[in-house]
Homo-oligomer: A and B are copies of this chain.
Amino acid sequence: MFSVTILGNNSALPAYNRHPTAQVVGLNEQLLLIDCGEGTQIQMSQYKIRRSKINHIFISHLHGDHYFGLIGLITSMGLLGRETPLTIHAPKELEAIIQLQLKVADTALPFMLTFNPLKEGIILNEKKFSVEAFPVQHRIECWGFIVREKKQPRKIDKDKIQQYAIPSVFYERLKNGDDYEDKNGNIILNEWVTIANTTPKSYAYSADTLYDEALVDKVKNVTVLYHETTYLKDLEERAKARFHSTTTQAASIAQKACVGKLLIGHFSSKYDSLNIFEEEAKTVFENTELALEGVCYKI
């Protein structure tokens, strides 16, 4: 199942038992960690996230509420005897910060730690999915991410294939959509003997950003968009001054980009109750949900 579990949905100051940003995307038994605010490893224990399944971590930007938990997580992985390599996809300055902290502690990790400085485009290309980075507008260098399932091969219809006596050597080409021509020159159309696989889904994480319509093209038609809503709509000026967005701005991006669903989070610590965030966003984009900690959302 393709899903995202929220570990932290608050902005900079922890408040009301809400934690700084961290999310875990689950995909084919792999887990991808997106951002890693302070306390993420403790949230992982609480919500039974298996650290050993994380091989890639993506850090959107170097404001502390998005990465102060990373050094603790890396150190703990080492103490737990991890041997599998780990790659951190992040702004380039992060490497020096992490290496300096490992050095002063005289820590030699038992696994290979690699840093991949972020740049626009595909930054991870696996067999069944890819991850793209795209720049967003924030006070410092900041990146959003899109996790996309790859198109899956068509499935062979076992009954039909016997009916047309197609040799098994041709099956791979059938899965890729090719038609078959038999020895008499008859064309067996692909769609007669195969079934379409599920449509590839996608998840976009827009990180911290001010309202920016350039985002619409970047996240066009994704299945689920996570967009920050640090403030309610009455604080649009403050949001702009601090390079953040409001409820109706996030919903407007979702609407213009024709996404399937909008998840909202990164709530300012000035708000205790979150219901009004959902209400305001829904006036613009109906299929909106609050990103709540501990909840696993299906993509």
**B-contact bits for A54-92, CB 8 A (1 contact / 0 none):** 000000001110001101100110011000000000010
Task: Decide yes or no whether A1 CB sits under 8 A from chain B.
Answer: no
Question: Is A162 an interface position by the 8 A CB rule?
Answer: no
Could you tell me which residues of chain A, from 164 to 178, have a CB within 8 Å of some CB in chain B? none
Q: Which residues of B contact A64 (CB under 8 A)?
A: 71-72, 75, 101, 105
Stretch at the interface among A27-35, A37-45, A275-283: A37-45
Known: A39-B42, A97-B100, A101-B97. A76 touches B13 (CB 8 A): yes
- Asked if A241 is an interface residue, CB under 8 A from chain B, the answer is no
Chain B CB within 8 A of A104 CB = yes
Instruction: Report the count of interface residues on A (CB-CB < 8 A).
Output: 33
Q: Does A106 touch B at the CB level, under 8 Å? A: yes
Instruction: Give chain B residues whose Cβ lies under 8 Å from the Cβ of A62.
Output: 101, 104-105
Cβ–Cβ < 8 Å partners of A71 in chain B? 64, 68
Q: How far is the CB of A176 from chain B (nearest CB, A)?
A: 46
Total identical chains: 2
A12 contacts B by Cβ under 8 Å: yes
Q: List residues of chain B with CB within 8 A of the CB of A72.
A: 38, 64, 68
Q: Does A213 contact B (CB under 8 A)?
A: no
Complex CA gap A68/B79 in Å reads 15
A140-B105 contact given A13-B79, A96-B100, CB 8 Å threshold: yes
| A139 on the B face (CB < 8 A) | yes
Q: Is A41 in contact with B69, judged by CB distance below 8 angstroms?
A: no
Residue A181 CB within 8 A of the other chain: no
Interface residues of A in 134-148 (CB under 8 A from B): 139-140
Q: Are A140 and B12 in contact (CB under 8 A)?
A: no
Nearest chain B CB to A64 CB, angstrom units = 5
A45 to chain B, nearest CB (A): 7
A81 to chain B, nearest CB (A): 11
Other A-B pairs, 17, CB within 8 Å; known A14-B42, A62-B104: A12-B76, A14-B45, A14-B76, A15-B45, A19-B42, A38-B39, A38-B68, A38-B69, A39-B39, A62-B105, A63-B105, A64-B75, A64-B105, A68-B72, A68-B75, A93-B104, A106-B140
A38 to B39, CA, bound (A): 6
In the A-B complex, the 10 residue pairs with the smallest Cβ-Cβ separation, listed nearest first, are: A38-B72, A62-B104, A93-B104, A68-B72, A39-B39, A64-B75, A106-B140, A63-B105, A14-B42, A13-B76
